[in-house]
């Protein structure tokens, strides 16, 4: 049973005591440093599990607001969980990768502009039009970034 928990990409625990839920979260997190857990609950019996997990999401429900009060994030209903996990989860990671790539590209574009200007001035370290070389990469990359993020949303 232990090896099954270790290999699973997700574990769903329900109809268990509050301590059992928290123990499952602790067990999954133990032994590995790069494991993060997301616990979702809607009642007072889920508070222990929510506080034990890396990220706790409390849902304001019929059983009360205890889970929402003690969680890292609070949502109004279960339907909001879909947007939280799928819209802000994996796509957010992709957007961060694109953001880092664009920032690295911006630096390369800036350096290429300075290098080209220095070739024109005989490597005197004086760009032809200094402000132009500072402004062009920022304006260009902002436009590209806006268009890229708009395509992913």
Residue 87, token pair as written in the block: 């819209």
50-59, long-range: CB within 8 Å, 24+ apart, which pairs?
A: 51/22, 52/22, 52/25, 52/26, 53/25, 53/29, 54/29, 57/81, 57/84
The yes-or-no verdict on residue 118 having pLDDT over 80 is no
Please count the CA atoms within 13 angstroms of the CA of 30 that sit on its side-chain side: 9
Residues 6 or more apart whose Cβ sits within 8 Å of residue 108: none
Residues 148 and 112 in one domain: yes
Residues 77 and 8 in one domain: yes
**Average pLDDT, rounded, for the chain:** 77
CB atoms within 10 A of CB 134: 13
The CATH number assigned to the domain holding 29 equals 3.40.50.1000
The yes-or-no verdict on residue 153 having pLDDT over 60 is no
Residues 75 and 124 in one domain: no
Q: What is the mean pLDDT of residues 25-47?
A: 83
Residues 80 and 101 in one domain: no
Structural domain for 64, as ranges: 2-85
Average the pLDDT over each of 38-42, 54-58, 92-96 and give the range with the smallest value: 92-96
The total number of structural domains that make up the chain: 2
Q: Which of 85, 112, 130 is the last residue of a domain?
A: 85
């Amino acid at each position: 049973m232990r090896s099954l928990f270790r290999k699973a990409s997700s574990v769903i625990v329900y109809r268990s005591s509050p301590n059992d839920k928290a123990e499952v979260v602790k067990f999954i997190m133990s032994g590995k440093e790069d494991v993060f857990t997301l616990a979702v609950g809607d009642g007072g019996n889920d508070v222990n599990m929510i506080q034990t997990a890396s990220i706790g999401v409390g849902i304001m429900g019929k059983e009360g607001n205890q889970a929402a009060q003690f969680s890292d994030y609070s949502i109004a209903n279960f339907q909001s969980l879909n947007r939280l996990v799928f819209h802000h989860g994996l796509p957010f990671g992709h957007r961060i990768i694109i953001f880092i790539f664009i920032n690295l590209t911006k630096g390369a574009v800036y350096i290429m502009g300075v290098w080209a200007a220095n070739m024109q001035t005989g490597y005197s370290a004086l760009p032809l039009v200094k402000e132009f070389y500072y402004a062009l990469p920022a304006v260009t990359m902002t436009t590209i970034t806006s268009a890229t993020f708009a395509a992913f949303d």
